[in-house]
Structure 1
Amino acid sequence: MNPRKRKGTSVELFLFKKLRDKGFAVTRAPASGSKRKDPIPDIIAMKKGIIVLIELKSRSKEGKIYVSKEQAEGAKEFADKSGGYLFLGIKTPSTFKFLDFSKLRSTKGGNYVADEPTVDKEGLSFEDLLKFVDNKLGISLDTFFADGNNG
């Protein structure tokens, strides 16, 4: 396995384990470089009916993140069919952020790009991603105190 693919796989496995440890049912669907007919996001995570789809990109330095037109459109189609929430997961040496796919902009060539200011301003941390799911589930701190054992 080439070093670049190995790095991508290790990032996928890292995120897979983190999500699994937080109570998600998770699957990896690594398809980079494959001849799949149906594009699938790298990570599919589900928790009590909420589906989170993550297309991962790993970079050794900060900067713009590009997603090919085919990859982006395939991921969006999968999200539409599944009803999942689609994110671009961006791993750099200093951060791991999750950007709602709708925040990517298209380039003149038809590809998609996330620039650093957008990722910094609108990207979610891992903890924020968990809060996003909890909000979709209707879970709040009040829920934990409503069980009658708060006293």
Structure 2
Amino acid sequence: MANAKGDRRERELVNKLDEEGFAVMRAPASGGATQRELPDVLAGNGDVFYAIEAKSSSGDPIYLSGEEVEALVYFSQNFGAKPKIGVRFDREDWYFFHPADVHQTDGGNYRVKKETALEEGDPMVALQADDEDEGSEHGIGDVLNAVAEGILSVEEAEEMLG
């Protein structure tokens, strides 16, 4: 999201998360200011912490490279945050996905269609009530799916579930 619209959308996301009671920071190094791959936004409320890769589109599907998703999962695991892909389509709200729930293309990239976001994405309020640690829909199954799709190694999955 190196363009002006993307930057504006990231700032909008930061403001919305702040309004929801999260301590939030937009990573200044996102977009290539450093060699380290960092998520666009970090947010936490004392109970749950997220590393968010934010993408927006006027209506076309949103694509993320396999490297972006791998870097998000890697950072999240090491930081102790839950990885989320935040998507926003024009005239719609933000919707969030665990990386294991995003469609992986044959080429190893990831895609979120607008209709998928509206039907299956978690709205902002769901971030407050996230209970992945209690075995909800984004718990053990998501970790196992991430292993099956090659997003996580078995060792990484053991650490997350251990």
Give yes or no for TM over 0.5: yes
Contact map agreement 1:44 1:53 (CA 8 A) in 2: yes
CA distance in 2, matches of 1:31, 1:71: 14
- Per the alignment, residue 93 of structure 1 pairs with 90
Contact map agreement 1:91 1:97 (CA 8 A) in 2: yes
Of residues 5, 26, 34, the one that matches 2:3 is 5
* One-letter identity of the residue aligned with 1:122: E
- Backbone CA RMSD of aligned residues: 2.3
- Per the alignment, residue 112 of structure 1 pairs with 110
Say if 1:137 and 1:16 are closer, same or farther in 2 by CA, change over 3 A: farther
Comparing 35-44 with 10-19, greater Cα deviation is found at: 35-44
Give the number of the structure whose alpha-carbon radius of gyration is greater: 1
Of residues 76, 81, 91, the one that matches 2:78 is 81
Of residues 28, 49, 67, the one that matches 1:70 is 67
Q: Map Cα deviations across residues 64-91 of structure 1 (whole Å, 9 max, x no partner).
A: 2210122111111001112211111111
What percentage of aligned pairs have identical amino acids?
32
Structure 1 stretches of at least 4 aligned residues deviating more than 3 Å after TM superposition: 30-33, 115-118, 135-138
Q: What SS class does the counterpart of residue 91 from structure 2 fall into?
A: coil
CA distance in 2, matches of 1:8, 1:73: 21
CA distance in 1, matches of 2:91, 2:15: 19
In the alignment, structure 2 segments of 5+ residues that lack a partner are 135-162
Shift of 1:92: 0.8
Shift of 1:37: 2.3
Say if 1:24 and 1:58 are closer, same or farther in 2 by CA, change over 3 A: same
Q: What SS class does the counterpart of residue 34 from structure 1 fall into?
A: coil
CA distance in 2, matches of 1:37, 1:69: 17
Shift of 1:117: 4.4
CA distance in 2, matches of 1:35, 1:70: 17
Instruction: Report how many residues are paired.
Output: 132
CA distance in 1, matches of 2:31, 2:122: 27
Contact map agreement 1:54 1:88 (CA 8 A) in 2: yes
Shift of 1:101: 1.5
Return the TM-score normalized by structure 2.
Answer: 0.70
Contact map agreement 1:50 1:137 (CA 8 A) in 2: no
Comparing 4-13 with 114-123, greater Cα deviation is found at: 114-123
Say if 1:120 and 1:130 are closer, same or farther in 2 by CA, change over 3 A: same
In the alignment, structure 1 segments of 5+ residues that lack a partner are 139-151
